[in-house]
Structure 1
Amino acid sequence: MPEIETNRLRLRPFTLDDLDRHAQILSNPEVMKYSPRGQIPTNKVKQVTQEILEFFINHWKQHGFGVWAVIDKQTSQLIGHCGLNFLPNSPEVEVLYRFDQSYWNQGIATEATKASLRYGFESVKLDRIVAITVPEHLGSRRVMEKAGLKYEKDAHYYNLDVVYYALSRSAWQPDDTLYIPLFHPKNTD
């Protein structure tokens, strides 16, 4: 599975070793405020986080793309996740992201989202990538717009009324920000 390096971030595959730190991020009620899951009960955070990580890992194995662990290059700390995922019961691929609250309003989500879009269009050769959020999640909507996605419609996913943004490969414009894909050879042992 590939890794990507950007100006401030390293996007790498998740491992189950990420469980404790990612559970810490997902246990914050503000981080989960607009999540389809809602706030995760304290006694279930580790279990739910493990299920999420296993889903992300298996999605990569099944589809050749997925959601990365996002690492702050300066601190080497896991700060959230970002990547590509099939929308439920749909052939459409969404870009999604969730970050530790201390990394909000710094352009981190936009930087990771742009890298994920570039990977989806250049490496996976997707024709279209979508993003969804609840209408009142203005921060997420700003990330989508800064990354080049355009509002298309109101929709219903994850049992929620959402706004639906999209970007086609033909409309996508790569920028000159640092983007270094790092591909690792498969283990042949």
Structure 2
Amino acid sequence: MSKLITETQRLIIREFNLDDVQAVYDFNADERVNRYTGDAGVVQSLADAERIIRDIWLTEYLQFGYARWAVVLKESNQVIGFCGFKNDYRINETDIGYRLSPEHWGKGYATEANKACIEYAKAKMDLDYIVGDVVEQNQASVNVLLKLGMKFNKRFDDLGFKIIRYDMYLKAKS
């Protein structure tokens, strides 16, 4: 049984487990999903999906107390993607992110899930500050970050992409 993180009207947010291998493969299989992530081609098999769950997410839950969480539709109990935070060692910040199967795009799930994650973090996590990095051409993700209340921080180049960084303080600055 996976640890429940939070719920919304339509979604369950929980930790991933090894029973989610097929779902992780499925929501990464469509090349449109990873087009702007730098992760294109990373999940090409069930073994790749299992490796991500076991070696990244389950490890980070133990190390940091958080990592990307499963987005589950309440009505069907189907895992449709991920949301939430990761400790990004490359930038020494906590990043908020999301990835959903294309058939679930445009329904407000990314915003709904990550608003719930932010509220959870404010109430139950020791996080003061988060960033959201998005490829400039990915306007849908820019819109999600803005709906979350994040503010423009800077533009920069990374892995061949033009990136826009947004940020947010979760606790009042003293």
Instruction: Go from structure 1 to structure 2 and tell me whether the alpha carbon gap of 1:157 and 1:128 turns closer, same or farther (over 3 Å shift).
Output: farther
Q: Is 2:64–2:87's contact at 8 Å kept on the other side of the alignment? A: no
Per-residue deviation, 1:75 = 1.0
Per-residue deviation, 1:157 = 4.5
Partner Cα distance (1:33, 1:45) in 2: 18
- 1:48 to 2:80 alignment: no
Instruction: Go from structure 1 to structure 2 and tell me whether the alpha carbon gap of 1:18 and 1:109 turns closer, same or farther (over 3 Å shift).
Output: same
Partner Cα distance (1:52, 1:148) in 2: 29
Partner Cα distance (1:106, 1:60) in 2: 28
What SS class does the counterpart of residue 119 from structure 2 fall into? helix
Corresponding position of 1:73: 74
| Aligned partner letter, 2:21 | L
Instruction: Go from structure 1 to structure 2 and tell me whether the alpha carbon gap of 1:56 and 1:158 turns closer, same or farther (over 3 Å shift).
Output: farther
Corresponding position of 1:126: 127
- Which string of whole-angstrom CA distances, capped at 9 and with x for unpartnered residues, describes residues 145-182 of structure 1? 001111110134556431100001246xxxxxxxxxxx
Corresponding position of 2:162: 161
Between the two proteins, the alignment pairs up a number of residues equal to 170
Structure 2: gaps (5+ residues): none
Partner Cα distance (1:84, 1:31) in 2: 18
Structure 1: gaps (5+ residues): 172-189
State TM-score, norm by structure 1.
0.82
Per-residue deviation, 1:91 = 2.6
Partner Cα distance (2:4, 2:159) in 1: 28
What is the alpha-carbon root mean square deviation over aligned residues?
1.9
| Aligned partner letter, 1:45 | S
Partner Cα distance (1:76, 1:96) in 2: 21
Partner Cα distance (1:82, 1:7) in 2: 16
Partner Cα distance (1:124, 1:91) in 2: 17
Instruction: Go from structure 1 to structure 2 and tell me whether the alpha carbon gap of 1:126 and 1:141 turns closer, same or farther (over 3 Å shift).
Output: same
| Aligned partner letter, 1:130 | V
